[in-house]
Structure 1
């Protein structure tokens, strides 16, 4: 994977093969950030990356100037890799080892962007819990956005606060906002 834009544009990051992850492809990531670039000034954003895996999305936000980036993942190997990579780039990403749903139930962190990239085969009921918790707990700041990456075989369009979806290959980004 590589950082597409910002201070560390073009830098490659190689994650250990043993991590249980499926990183967002560079093509999909570039398309997502083109959309976000039209809505936000990255240096002003507070971001929470859920099911962060390698930290691919978090690094992109940090490289573009977002200083308040929090990542959440249940895998200790992923958290250690993100910590190590964050320090090598001097990003200051806050990495939290936690079950994402428990984190969302208890956190006081509010953010402009919540990005979730769970396992594509996660049960639909669990996909539905993500926007439910983010919106009922009022974790999203005004004019904020929740983005869930999922398989083209998963349809989240019937959920409350759904705005639109964009498909890139076998991946879909579903956008939610107030």
Structure 2
């Protein structure tokens, strides 16, 4: 895994083999950030990265100038890796060790963009619960964007705030627009 653009472009993220992660491929990540680059000013964003894993998405945002990024993961070893890597890269990443569903029920944070990359085998109801918690608790700022990465075998088009999706190999990014 590498950071594909920004001031840390080319830096490799080498996670220990034992971590329970499936990082977003460089190709899919590059395509996603090309889409976002045309829609957003990275320096102005508050971003929450749910199921952050090794922080591939968090570090990509920070490399592109986003100052306020919160990475949430429940796995102790992922948190350790995120902490070590953000220190090595001299980044001020806000790292929270928490079950994502608990975090969504309790957090006071609001974001312009929330990215969620849950396990691909998550039951459909739990994908729906992510969107539902974010919408009900108004965790996105006005015209905020939720992006959920999932496998091509999951279909999230029926969710009320769904707006579009992009497919890259086995990965799909579904976009959800929340209006205040």
* Structure 2 Cα separation of the partners of residues 91 and 19 of structure 1: 22
- TM-score normalised by structure 2 residue count: 0.98
* Structure 2 Cα separation of the partners of residues 144 and 31 of structure 1: 20
* Structure 2 Cα separation of the partners of residues 34 and 135 of structure 1: 26
- Give, in angstroms, the shift of residue 62 of structure 1: 0.5
Aligned to 2:133: 133
- Give, in angstroms, the shift of residue 176 of structure 1: 0.2
- Give, in angstroms, the shift of residue 89 of structure 1: 0.7
Pairwise CA RMSD: 0.6
Structure 1 segment 1-178 matched on structure 2, within 5 A: 1-178=1-178
- Give, in angstroms, the shift of residue 142 of structure 1: 1.2
Structure 2 unaligned regions, length at least 5:
none
Q: Which runs of 4+ in 1 moved over 4 A?
A: none
Structure 1 unaligned regions, length at least 5:
none
SS in 2 for 1:174: strand
- Give, in angstroms, the shift of residue 143 of structure 1: 2.1
> How many residues align structurally?
178
* Structure 1 Cα separation of the partners of residues 12 and 99 of structure 2: 28
- TM-score normalised by structure 1 residue count: 0.99
